[in-house]
Amino acid sequence: MAWPRDDAKLDRVRGLMAEHGLDAIVARAPDNVVYLTNFWGMKGYDAVVFPREGSPTLLCLEASADDAARTSWTTDVRLVAGYDPTDPRPPSARTLDAAAALAAEHGTVGLELSLGTQASDRMVGEPTTFTQGWFDAFPGAVDATPLLVAARARKTDQEIERVRLANEIAAAAMDHVLGVIRPGQTEAQIAAEWLGFVHGEGTGWAGAVELALGFSLVWSGPGIKTFTATTSRPVVEDEPTLFEIWVCADGYWADHTKNVVVGELTDAYRELEHGLREVYDDAVAFCVPGASLAELDRRIRDGITRLGYADQPTHPICHGVGARAHEPPYAHQAGGGTVETGMVLAIEPGCYWPDGGGLRLEDNFLVTDAGTEKLSPFPDGIVQAAA
């Protein structure tokens, strides 16, 4: 989707480049290419050379020329052949040649030397990995990832609008699920209902989303565990069906955990919901500008311990959301950092029973000067499905 150039975002990056003494950044991770150019590539063969002064250059596959012309914020778009009969190498090698030639025009160049995880490309959700040759082609380059992390941690108004769209689609898909979920359906079948809505109705959402993709893990009753796959287990009556769900709308994400019950919730689950909701609400209220991210992690885990679930959960309890579903900042007791205005945080405490079953609550929250704003209109807690 063509969005107006987000100068607030690009000026922030250039200001940080000046502080770090960088003359240019060469970025290839799909999330960073989206962040710097608004172009969401199809196969991860694309790159951007982003100078501190002057116009960026987008390198993209020639098959994506129309997409780049429509969506990219830079008019300097140079096409890379997907196949060249005079050059039998894969297309990523031609992208590298072009990027290295452009980078040679600048002094100090920053690369994504440390990546962590990488966001999916637009086509199949399969990140294209970097080869050693990519890094060797830029002698003397420094790591630009910390700079990009700092820039991306606080969202601009446009970024917030884009995250809101992803949140709206995720919530609408959950509303759809409430009307169709039934006992005896499999986890995979009800996951497909959610996924189908995201892709079918989210694409074109509000006239502002060109492509919406959903990703999900769905577990029901004793199938609820910290890390496991969706299976053919049946939806369990009177116990939650947990939806761990992500929506990507043109490269910007929502990350939620929502819970639905068919029938009347058991007393054990009602008690767990009440206790976990207190921990969750306390964490949300704690996230004011200046709050310690390390203390947030400690506070949530102490609350979960008081509920009788010591050493849980094994998954992170808070992270950023934006051009990736999971991006810095992370709340971790071994780390640092503070909550800042403009961050979008996924807060997600969870408790799990040894033999299967449990509960997780999660939504995305925009940090404002006054506190937090919940971005999803779908309720937290366990929501009862239509009879």
For residue 222, cis peptide bond before it (omega within 30 degrees of 0): no
Q: What is the pLDDT of residues 112-134, one digit of tens each?
A: 998 755 555 555 566 667 888 88
Q: What is the mean pLDDT of residues 323-328?
A: 92
- For helices 157-180 and 7-20, what crossing angle results, to 10°? 120
Say what percent of the chain tops pLDDT 70: 96
Q: What is the mean pLDDT of residues 317-323?
A: 96
**What is the per-residue pLDDT for 86?**
93
Q: What is the pLDDT of residues 200-214, one digit of tens each?
A: 999 999 999 999 999
Q: What is the mean pLDDT of residues 89-113?
A: 95
Report residue 228's pLDDT band, with 50, 70 and 90 as the boundaries: confident
**What is the per-residue pLDDT for 271?**
98
For residue 91, cis peptide bond before it (omega within 30 degrees of 0): no
Average pLDDT, the chain: 94
Q: What is the mean pLDDT of residues 227-240?
A: 94
Q: Among 196, 157, 170, 189, which residue's Cα sits nearest to residue 366?
A: 157
Only one residue has tokens 């039934």, namely 182
**What is the per-residue pLDDT for 335?**
87
**What is the per-residue pLDDT for 74?**
97
> Which of 202 and 225 is assigned the larger pLDDT?
202
Q: What is the pLDDT of residues 14-49, one digit of tens each?
A: 999 999 999 999 999 989 999 999 999 887 889 999
**What is the per-residue pLDDT for 131?**
82
Q: Check pLDDT > 80 for residue 164.
A: yes
